[in-house]
Each structure stands twice: as structure tokens, then as C-alpha cells.
Amino acid sequence: VRLPSRILDSPFRMNQQTQDDLDALRNIEQRERNKDFIVQNQIHREKRRSVPRHPESHKLSHDVARINKSILKKEYKSFFSELSDHEEEEAPPQSFPTNSIAGFQAALLIESMKIQLRQNQHLKKLRLKFASKYERENYYHKLELQRRQTLMDIQ
């Protein structure tokens, strides 16, 4: 940092050598401050790494996640076994003229939509199982609205 020109023009003006010496001193001080700052940062970082913040709660959340995962796996297994049972019980799909390609595609589409619907319903049930009371009420309210809408559509 150079001194302002009004000081340089004053009778007590520093010569170039003293100005350079001052600059060198300032640079050295700045470098020292930077070094101190870097060292402090490293110390802080080491402290942060060595001490986990809340080891118990961290472990607990992992356990909860693992339990939820196992529950979901069981639920999915039971769901897919139920699905295969249903498919055996169900009557053959509504008859489409499957000899035509369009009819066959329509039948396929309807079957895939049925399966998708069942899967979605099951996923919603699973979500509700782990959802809060407010979310549950909201969901049932939406379901009721949907049911009414479909009834209106049918009529």
C-alpha cells in the first residue's frame, strides 16, 4: 500500500527506500497473519474431525433407517406374493378381439394399468403407515374427493 501523494509531496517526504522498506514490512506482517490463520483453521478442522458431534443420535438414525428398510422389504415381498395370488384367482380379462393387434394392445394396456394401480395403492398404504396424522387425514380427504368425482363421472 503506497502512501497518499499529499504526504509524499510534504517536506518530510520519505525517500523511495523507506517506502519500499515499509511495504516489505507490511507484506511480512500480512504473511505472518495468513500463516496464523491457516494454522488456526487446520487446528479447528482437526478438532472437528476427531470429535463426532452426536455419535449416539447418528447411530440411532442409522438403526431406524435399517429397521424401516427391513420392514419395507417384508411389505414388498408380501405385496408381490399377494399380487401373484390375485392374478391366479381373477377371471380372465374382459374379452377384447385379441385377434387384432389394436385389441391385443388395449388388453395389455388395461392389464398393465391395473397392476400399476395396485402397486400405487400399496405404496400409498406403506407411505400412510409411516406418515403423520395430518398427512393421513389429508390423504383420506383426497381419496374421498376422488371417489365422489368418479361416481359423478359414472353417472
Higher pLDDT, 89 or 126: 126
| Exposure string for 112-125, b = 16+ CB within 10 A, e = fewer | eeeeeeeeeebeee
Which residue reads 479447528 in cell numbers? 44
Q: List the grid coordinates of 8.
A: 509524499
Report yes or no: 22 and 2 within 8 Å, Cβ to Cβ: no
Domain boundaries of the chain, sorted by first residue: 5-50, 72-154
Calculated CA dihedral for residues 106, 108, 109, 112, nearest 10 degrees: 160
State if pTM tops 0.75.
no
Q: What is the pLDDT of residue 98?
A: 58
At 123, is the pLDDT very low, low, confident or very high (cuts 50, 70, 90)? confident
Q: What is the pLDDT of residue 104?
A: 78
Report yes or no: 142 and 128 within 8 Å, Cβ to Cβ: no
